[in-house]
């Protein structure tokens, strides 16, 4: 292996970086400077590994847009010194963070691989060891002087997935993530088999990291029996600029007059409404049924096969870009980082 390949490990927090205190038995963060003691296999990889630990470390439930921006800034600052990046992150909100980072890093030409675990590294049966080692190997993979996977990904339990196509769907199994609308970028067994036809190609432009996100965005999940009072109160949130509308099936919503009028009123006042499906797989197809035709007619934007995580973070990114509203609306229907099928 190439002894000059360098990978920066960024530990934000989460289960993977924990071990049992020998005195109390409680889970505590371990010192990544002593990582070779915990995972001696790393010595055999012949890579230069750098480490950056957040202080304080964060449970992924406490993740927020300011941290996403900080993470993108760390990668930007170290971009020229390292060949790839591995981000260790709690699994609960990993899909949100990784999706956001994919938008914040424009012209990314190096791997940024998120991984974590369901069991801590300090536990005998941990899934973290294999996830960590393989994520490093993928981040270091180069062919003809070019990174094999020059994009933001999530690696978990034998599958490498595009970050902004991925959701956490299982709280107990080691294969906690799924990319339902895009095949895995790589399948890992005895060999790492890359699906090169769907991996994003490098453009060799200079990295442009963005440092702003607009959090005046919310998610409205529809459910049978949703009330007029609730919807009207939600759409009247002060400062709200955009809503991710989680609809039924292929983009369907109630056709009751009060619901249509409430949405129409909000859109007329300037609210951007982006329609995504509650289903794990599939796509919004506004107009396929009468219950979605009215949404299309009033100006609700089809999110196609965007995940909620990607829809939310894409809106935050675009709203902070300084672009005119019409341009933002146009870009919501364009794949910027491979986040949707167009």
Catalytically annotated residues? 15
Question: CB under 8 Å to 229, separation ≥6 — which residues?
Answer: none
Residue 200 corresponds to which tokens in the numbers above? 């994003």
Q: What are the DSSP calls for 23-42, one per residue?
A: TT--EEE--GGGHHHH-GGG
SS3 content of the chain, % helix, strand, coil (to 5): 30, 20, 45
Tell me how long the chain is: 342
Question: Quick one: which of 39, 150, 153 has its CA closest to 84?
Answer: 150
CB 291 within 8 A of CB 252: yes
Token pair 């809106």 in the structure block, residue: 315
CB 82 within 8 A of CB 147: no
Distance CA 92, CA 46 (A): 32
Distance CA 279, CA 126 (A): 31
């Amino acid at each position: 292996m190439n002894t000059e390949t360098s990978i920066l490990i960024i530990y934000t927090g989460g289960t993977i970086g924990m071990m049992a205190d020998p005195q109390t038995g409680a889970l505590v963060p371990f010192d990544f400077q002593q990582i070779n003691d915990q995972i001696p296999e790393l010595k055999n990889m012949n890579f230069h590994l750098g480490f950056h630990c957040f202080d304080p470390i964060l449970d992924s439930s406490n993740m927020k847009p300011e941290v996403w921006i900080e993470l993108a800034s760390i990668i930007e600052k170290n971009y020229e010194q390292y060949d790839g990046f591995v981000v260790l992150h709690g699994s609960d909100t990993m899909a949100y963070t990784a999706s956001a980072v994919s938008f914040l890093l424009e012209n990314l030409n190096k791997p940024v691989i998120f991984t974590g675990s369901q069991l801590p590294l300090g536990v005998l049966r941990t899934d973290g060891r294999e996830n960590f080692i393989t994520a490093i190997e993928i981040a270091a993979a180069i062919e003809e002087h070019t990174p094999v996977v020059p994009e933001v990904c999530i690696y978990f339990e034998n599958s490498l997935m595009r970050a902004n196509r991925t959701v956490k769907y299982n709280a107990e199994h080691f294969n906690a993530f799924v990319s339902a609308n895009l095949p895995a970028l790589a399948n890992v067994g005895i060999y790492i088999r890359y699906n090169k036809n769907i991996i994003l190609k490098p453009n060799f432009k200079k990295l442009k990291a963005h440092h702003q996100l607009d959090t005046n965005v919310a998610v409205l999940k529809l459910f049978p029996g949703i009330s007029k009072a609730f919807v009207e109160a939600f759409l009247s949130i002060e400062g709200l600029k955009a809503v991710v509308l989680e609809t039924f099936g292929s983009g369907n919503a109630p056709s009751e007059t009060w619901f249509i009028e409430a949405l129409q009123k909000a859109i007329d006042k300037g609210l951007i409404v982006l329609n995504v499906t509650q289903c794990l797989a599939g796509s919004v197809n506004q107009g396929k049924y009468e219950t979605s035709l009215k949404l299309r007619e009033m100006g609700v934007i089809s999110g196609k096969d965007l995940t909620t995580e990607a829809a939310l973070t894409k809106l935050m990114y675009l709203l902070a870009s300084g672009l005119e509203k019409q341009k933002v609306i146009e870009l919501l229907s364009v794949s910027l980082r491979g986040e949707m099928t167009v």
